């Protein structure tokens, strides 16, 4: 049987229409079955326009004072204990001349020079690490916290080069074997990512203060820098404070009462 072009086109168009209808119907049932997600904040979440930390360095006199905070942070965040140059640091202590490199007075208080000072990520207002990160694995939250998304970190270490405070550590090895007791409430990190202090954003979101602040028992204060009534602003008014490397203009969110 010979078919005319007209007949062929009729059959072809009908079958295409039929196929299209079927696909559309399938698509619609799929869309109906799809789940509409919605997310909200924890009702207890602590809020601030600009989180800041004030460390009362006068109060940190013994090794135990420092260790309490460091251990609290380590256990909360599964920070491994790797000896040597490949160590992972979120919060650590160092000498005066390493902490406040800008002050160059040769003849100053011996007591202040001999003190040790906590160092941690400064959660800068103008974070160089965020500017140089090519994958946006590190980013600034609205609350001023410089956060890390380890899912996105490709381990290029631009952020480590960018950070003038040495606050970032690179995982040269799998950190898991170096964690004494793994806290199942917080992930560990993997080989090849850069990590750092996150101002305990996961605790703030659940209504708790940072682990080191809690462990310091009043020696470290935490609050909203944008609120003139807040505890940190009152402390800044009443005491002489320093920030690290102010000349760089990164505007750190960590203040030291001297």
Partner 1 sequence: MYNSKYVISGLVIFLAVFSYPFWGNLASKDYTGPKLSLPTDQKQCIEPVEFMRSQHMTLLNQWRDSALREGKRVYVASNGATWDASLQKTCMSCHTNKAEFCDTCHLENAVEPYCWTCHVPPKGNE
CB of 116 to partner 1, least distance (A): 32
Q: Say how far apart CA 152 and CA 161 lie, in whole Å.
A: 18
- Whole-number minimum distance, CB 96 to partner 1, in Å? 35
What does DSSP say about strands 51-56 and 220-224: parallel, antiparallel, or unpaired? antiparallel
Cβ atoms of 256 and 55 within 8 Å: the answer is yes
End-to-end C-alpha distance for the chain, whole angstroms: 101
Applying CB under 8 A, which of residues 182, 207, 231, 246 lies at the interface with partner 1?
182
Is the torsion defined by CA of 14, 19, 23, 26 positive or negative? Answer: positive
Residue span binding partner 1 (CB under 8 A) among the ranges 16-24, 49-57, 147-155, 231-239: 147-155
The site for partner 1, by CB under 8 A, has a size of 34
| Contact pick of 3, 36, 85, 180 for partner 1 (by CB under 8 A) | 36
Mention every residue, 6+ apart, whose C-beta is less than 8 A from residue 104.
none
Per rule CB under 8 A, is residue 143 in the interface with partner 1? yes
d(CA 67, CA 56): 15
Instruction: List Cβ neighbours of 230 (8 Å cut-off, separation of 6 or more).
Output: 223, 224
CB of 205 to partner 1, least distance (A): 5
Is there binding between residue 251 and partner 1 (CB under 8 A)?
A: no
Give least dist CB 218 to partner 1, A: 27
User: What binding mask, one character per residue, do residues 61-100 give for partner 1 by CB under 8 A, x or -?
Assistant: -----------------x----------------------
Give ∠ CA 43-90-151 in degrees, rounded to 5. 65
Query: Which stretches of the chain bind partner 1, using CB under 8 A?
Result: 33-42, 45, 78, 139, 141, 143, 147, 149-151, 174, 182-191, 201-202, 205-206
């Amino acid at each position: 049987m010979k078919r005319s072009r007209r007949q062929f086109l009729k059959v072809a168009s009908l079958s295409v229409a039929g196929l299209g209808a079927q696909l559309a119907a399938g698509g619609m049932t799929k869309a109906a079955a799809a789940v509409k997600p919605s997310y909200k904040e924890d009702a207890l979440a602590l809020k601030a326009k600009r989180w800041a930390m004030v460390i009362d360095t006068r109060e940190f006199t013994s090794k135990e004072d420092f260790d309490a905070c460091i251990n609290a942070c380590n256990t909360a965040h599964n920070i491994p204990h790797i000896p040597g140059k490949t160590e992972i640091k979120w919060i650590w202590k160092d000498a005066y001349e390493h902490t406040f490199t800008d002050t160059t007075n040769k003849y100053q208080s011996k007591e202040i020079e001999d003190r040790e000072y906590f160092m941690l990520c400064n959660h800068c207002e103008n974070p160089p690490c965020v500017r140089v990160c090519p994958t946006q694995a590190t980013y600034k939250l609205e609350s001023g916290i410089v956060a890390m998304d380890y899912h996105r970190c490709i381990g290029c270490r631009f952020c480590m080069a960018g950070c003038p405070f040495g606050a970032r550590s690179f995982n040269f090895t799998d950190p898991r074997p170096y964690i004494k007791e793994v806290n199942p409430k917080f992930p560990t990190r993997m080989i090849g990512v850069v990590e750092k202090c996150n101002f305990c954003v996961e605790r703030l979101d659940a209504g708790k203060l940072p682990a080191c602040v809690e462990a310091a028992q009043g020696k470290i204060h935490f609050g909203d820098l944008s609120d003139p009534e807040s505890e940190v602003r009152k402390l800044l008014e009443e005491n002489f404070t320093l920030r690290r490397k102010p000349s760089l203009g990164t505007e750190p969110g960590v203040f030291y009462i001297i």
